[in-house]
Amino acid sequence: MAATGNLFADISPKGADEQLTELLRTPAVRIERIVSHGHASPPGFWYDQDLAEWVLLLAGAAILAFEDDPEPVRLEPGDHVLIPAHARHRVEWSDPDRPTIWLAVHYGR
């Protein structure tokens, strides 16, 4: 039987913790929906992931920073970014006035 769902259903309310929903996991790929409400990475924290990550911003807005790039990347709906494995990055800002909805595809090895 086919599995169905809606990426815009069951969005956490503003003020809640960032919401991470795993949509698919196989040995080769993991797909997640992430919902942010003004969330950002803690000061001094950098993601350093073993897998590459392709991120598509579906709603809201966000700013990503990369340790080796002085220019942050601003994302609006429809924008996507490929983050290579071990590229240290962080969420500098996400829209506090509306949900920021990310689709993240982790893959590699």
Residue that has been written with the tokens 């797909």 in this structure: 31
Q: Determine contact, residues 83/89, Cβ cutoff 8 Å.
A: yes
Proportion of the chain in helix, strand, coil states, percent, rounded to 5: 0, 50, 50
Q: What is the pLDDT of residue 83?
A: 98
Q: What is the pLDDT of residue 109?
A: 67
For 44-101, what is each residue's pLDDT tens digit? 999 999 999 999 999 999 999 999 999 999 999 999 999 999 999 999 999 999 999 9
Give the CATH architecture of domain 19-107. Sandwich (2.60)
Give 31's Cβ-side CA count (13 Å radius): 6
> Which residues does residue 57 pair with via DSSP β-bridges, in sequence order?
102
